[in-house]
Each structure stands twice: as C-alpha cells, then as structure tokens.
Amino acid sequence: MNELDSEFIKGAIVGGGFGEAQNEYDADIILLNTCAVREMAERKALGKAGLLSQLKEKKPDLVLGICGCVAQQRKEQLFDGLPLLDIVCGTRQIAQLPEMIESVRKTGERQIRVEDLSSEKLDFALTKRNSLIKAFISIMRGCDNYCSYCIVPYVRGRERSRPPQEIIAEIGQLAQKGYKEITLLGQNVNSYGKRLEPECDLVELLERINAIRGIERIRFVTSHPKDISPALIGAIARLEKVCEHIHFPLQSGSDKVLRLMNRGYSLNDYMKLVDALRDAVPSIGLGTDIIVGFPGETEADFAETVEAMRRIEYDSAFIFKYSTREGTDAAKLPDDVPLEKKKERNKILLQLQKQISLRKNRASIGSYVEVLVEGPSKRNPYRMMGRTRQNKIAVFDGGQHLVGKILKMTVADATALTLFCQVAEETLSAPQNKTGQRQSPAYRASP
Ligand code: SAH
Ligand code: SF4
C-alpha cells in the first residue's frame, strides 16, 4: 500500500511539472512517505527526517515534507520536533502536493493539510509506476474493521470502494502498455463494494478483470478471514488468471487473544477456511501475519499460536512484535508482555516458519512452476528472478530478453525463501481460454 502511495506521490509531483532527481543530495524537494502501523516504522521515518533536516541546514532552498500515516497521525506536532520541515501532507491530500510545494517555494511558509479524512481526490492515471510488468491497483481506501491494535482506521479513514468501471479502465490501459500482473490492494479487499451503487463485489470485479486481454495474472491483498466467502474461494478455483495464493492474517492462534483483538473469528472458523481453500484449490499458497506479545498473551496463548502455525503450514508468515498505538482500543490495555518475551516469541515463530517453508520448498524440487520474469536478481545481477503463481521467488539463469514473459520452469533446488529453477520452455505464455479446468497439472507447484 505504501509502495503504491509513493507511486501516486511521485506521479502527482511529476504531473505538477517537476523532474525526478537521482538521489537525495541532488534533490530540490524531498518528501518522505511514512507508515504508522508500528512504532518502529514511525521512529525510522522520524529519524530519517532528522537526517534530512541536516541536509536542509546546508541547502536552505530544499523543500522538505512528510506525507502518509505519520503525517496524518502527528499533524502539526511534527513541526515541533522538526523545525525545518516545510510540508505535512496527510493520507488523503496527495493530489494537493504540487500546490503545497509551489506555496512553500513562493512564500517560504509551512504548509499543512491533514484535516479531511472523508474525501480524497486522486487521479490514479498520474501514478508513476516503478515496474513495467506488475502494477498495484488501489480498489478501496480506508478500513472499517477497528481491530483493537490497529491505527489504520484512524489515519486512513472510513472504507471507500472505487467504482468498478474506473478500476477496469485503469487496468485496461495498463494491459495495453504491456503489464502482465496486477495486484488489487485494500486493507480488507473481501469487503470490496460495500455501499457501491450499482452493486459489485470482489468476485464480480475479479471476473471482469479476468476478461481483460493481456493481463495474465491477478492477485489481491489483504484478505480478512471473517469476510472470505465460499463464492470467493470458488472464484480463485475457477478464474484462470487469479493466482493460487491468499494472504489472510491469522494474528493469533488463541481465541481469547483474537477476541481482545476484535478480529471477528475463532481459530476453529479459521481452520475451516484453511480446509475449504485447500479443498477447492489444492496448490494454493497461504500467507499470514502474526502479532506476538499482544496485551495479556500468556505462554498458553502463545503455545496455541505455535500449534496453529504447525498445523496450517503456511508458505509465508510475517511476524510482528505488538506495539501500542495511541488512540486504539488496545492502547487502553496494559502492554504487559516484556520486550524480551516479545523478541523471544518472535524468534520462535520465525524459526518455525523457516523450517516449514524450507520443508515445503524442498518438497517441490523436481516439479514444474510457472514464473513471471521480473528482472535481474537483487542478490546476483547475473541471474534473473520472477515469482511463481504461489508468490514464491524463483531465481534462474537467463537474460534480460525474458523480462515480462511467463515461463515454465523446473525447481532444481530450494531454500526457505527461494526456489532455484531451470527454464523448461521459453515459449510458454499464460494459459488462456480455459474452460472448466483451471491449469494443466504441469503448472502446479507441489504442495
Ligand atoms: N489490513 C491488513 C494489514 C494491516 S497492517 C490486514 O488486516 O491484514 C499489517 C499488519 O501489521 C497486520 O496484519 C498486523 O499483523 C500488523 N500490525 C498492525 N498493527 C500492529 C501493532 N499495533 N503492533 C504490531 N503489529 C501490528
Ligand atoms: Fe487494521 Fe484490522 Fe483494518 Fe487490517 S482489517 S487495517 S488490521 S483495522
């Protein structure tokens, strides 16, 4: 989500007539996009803003701004800690950035726009995307769920869905430019369409996108377990472009903690969902987020999370140490799990997930996977990388000419995070015009 917002910010600025600088030393304007979801993210952003203020001391004409959730949350307080800051721009005022920058440059006066969380005017066409192959598409903004630990509803406002025709038009244009994969983004994409007239839900949206020529892969994130419907599971199984992957955070394996988190499901509900997903789509990759050290989490509660992760065997898991966010319901509870305990639990779950991922990835050695080639591998620029339909990273020997192609590969070796592959067929394109059967078994990764 933040990556996409940064692409909007870039688009708004470039659309406002500014060019792109090579680095921060070369820039006349520096805007930091920020995340407030955990204290560490906020601290890092403010630390970076402090360093950039030192740059501004040497270069007084530099325009320095903070955008995003920290701006929305801290508002004018930010000027107290950062006296050289020029701009504070909230989560829904991105389109006003060029005007704010012009005002600073003309008058030298500070600009702050954070007031209105109910409206937002974004020209999505301006988005300046970092990739020519994969694109994020915002289908909804905000969140109505109020999970007790989470700051998002307070800094991003109420949930609002974008009209489907606007989304379809944007994706159609991307398809014409050669984009192959799109990821639909929202805090809880399963509730897409709430309050839309005429009605359209996520399943209908997926069906309409599935029909767009040129787009070969569709992903969506994040799914809230309480809102994943049988119809959505059916759509993942039926629509050939929808990838076999779902990120649906469990957060905790303890029913007591889930209740305190206001998540709206029990472990049992969640396990039924896991079974339904695997029954309908046997090759599906499952991803989760887990919070350790939520207020009141005992050793027994934590043991239930460990047990749940053992049983479910996710393909990927993000583990977070709970951090109190001012203004949330959980902030009223004592943050009573000591930091050392949080670190210990975090480490246990990371190690457990690493073992599970390694075992599953190694079990896929010798099988075929379908990979969309993205570009050179970050670790070794002499090799190429892409992702499987299950969202696993694949690294292989090949050249730049393969970028944007979808290739059939065999898995030759694997670590917990990477599949090392060999190209089996260079000519493969995504399976199109499927009737009934979604994929030939050759493209399915081993479970
Ligand atoms: N809307 C998405 C993502 C929310 S933020 C969803 O509901 O899944 C991403 C993740 O950050 C959450 O899933 C949660 O695991 C974590 N998170 C949110 N608030 C947190 C907090 N106060 N402390 C620690 N982790 C938190
Ligand atoms: Fe936060 Fe819950 Fe909304 Fe996700 S669904 S953004 S965790 S309040």
Whether 153 lines ligand 2, by a CB cut-off of 6 Å, is yes
pLDDT tens per residue, range 237-266? 999 999 999 999 999 999 999 999 999 999
By DSSP bridging, strand 181-185 and strand 134-138 are parallel
What pLDDT score does 137 carry?
95
Q: At what angle do helices 202-210 and 230-238 cross, to 10 degrees?
A: 10
Distances (CA, A) of 8 to 48, 119, 173, 304: 21, 16, 17, 41
Structurally, what CATH architecture does the domain formed by 2-113 represent?
A: 3-Layer(aba) Sandwich (3.40)
Kindly give the number of the ligand 1 atom that is closest to the alpha carbon of 149.
Answer: 22
Whether 190 lines ligand 1, by a CB cut-off of 6 Å, is no
Q: How far apart are CA 216 and CA 119, in angstroms?
A: 33
Which candidate, 129, 155, 131, places its Cα nearest to that of 143?
155
For the chain, report the end-to-end CA distance as a whole number of angstroms. Answer: 29
| CA trace torsion 3, 177, 405, 237 (10° rounding) | 70
Tell me which residue has its CA closest to atom 5 in ligand 2: 145
Strands (E), 90-207: 111-113, 134-138, 140-141, 160-161, 181-185
- Tell me, in angstroms, the distance from the centre of ligand 2 to residue 356's CA: 26
- Non-local (6+) Cβ contacts of 191 within 8 A are 140, 144, 159, 224, 227
Which candidate, 344, 257, 251, 343, places its Cα nearest to that of 289?
251
What pLDDT score does 116 carry?
74
Is-contact 113 86, C-beta < 8 A?
no
| CA trace torsion 277, 280, 281, 282 (10° rounding) | 90
What pLDDT score does 92 carry?
86
Distances (CA, A) of 144 to 118, 132, 184, 285, 351: 13, 33, 18, 27, 33
Alpha helical stretches, state H, 160-285:
164-176, 202-210, 230-238, 255-260, 267-280
Distances (CA, A) of 367 to 242, 419, 441: 21, 11, 10
Q: Is the peptide bond before 222 cis (omega within 30 degrees of 0)?
A: yes
Q: Residue 135 forms beta bridges with which residues?
A: 182
The owner of tokens 């073992």 is 355
Whether 291 lines ligand 1, by a CB cut-off of 6 Å, is yes
Q: How far apart are CA 142 and CA 44, in angstroms?
A: 23
Q: Is 109 exposed, middle or buried (0-12, 13-18, 19+ CB in 10 A)?
A: exposed
Q: Is the peptide bond before 198 cis (omega within 30 degrees of 0)?
A: yes
- The residue to mutate among 150, 226, 329, having the most atoms of ligand 1 within 8 angstroms of its beta carbon, is 150
The 10 Å Cβ neighbour count of residue 137 is 22
Distances (CA, A) of 442 to 222, 431, 446: 28, 11, 10
Whether 398 lines ligand 2, by a CB cut-off of 6 Å, is no
- Tell me, in angstroms, the distance from the centre of ligand 1 to residue 290's CA: 8
| Smallest-distance ligand from the CA of 1 | 1
Fold of 364-444: OB fold (Dihydrolipoamide Acetyltransferase, E2P) (2.40.50)
Whether 335 lines ligand 1, by a CB cut-off of 6 Å, is no
Q: Where in the chain is the domain with CATH 3.40.50.12160?
A: 2-113
- Tell me, in angstroms, the distance from the centre of ligand 1 to residue 234's CA: 27
Whether 147 lines ligand 2, by a CB cut-off of 6 Å, is yes
Which candidate, 395, 387, 273, 261, places its Cα nearest to that of 331?
261
Is-contact 219 183, C-beta < 8 A?
yes
- Tell me, in angstroms, the distance from the centre of ligand 2 to residue 146's CA: 6
- The residue to mutate among 152, 288, 291, having the most atoms of ligand 1 within 8 angstroms of its beta carbon, is 291
The 10 Å Cβ neighbour count of residue 153 is 19
What pLDDT score does 428 carry?
52
Is-contact 83 106, C-beta < 8 A?
no
CATH of 124-361, one of 3.40.1390.40, 3.40.50.360, 3.40.50.2000, 3.80.30.20: 3.80.30.20
Q: At what angle do helices 97-107 and 2-15 cross, to 10 degrees?
A: 60
Q: Whole-structure pTM over 0.85, yes or no?
A: yes
Whether 187 lines ligand 1, by a CB cut-off of 6 Å, is yes
Whether 53 lines ligand 2, by a CB cut-off of 6 Å, is no
Is-contact 32 51, C-beta < 8 A?
no
- Tell me, in angstroms, the distance from the centre of ligand 1 to residue 249's CA: 9
Q: Where in the chain is the domain with CATH 3.80.30.20?
A: 124-361
Whether 325 lines ligand 1, by a CB cut-off of 6 Å, is yes
Low-confidence ranges of the chain (pLDDT < 70): 425-447
pLDDT tens per residue, range 211-237? 999 999 999 999 999 999 999 999 999
Which candidate, 406, 445, 410, places its Cα nearest to that of 424?
410
What pLDDT score does 437 carry?
41
Q: How far apart are CA 313 and CA 359, in angstroms?
A: 10
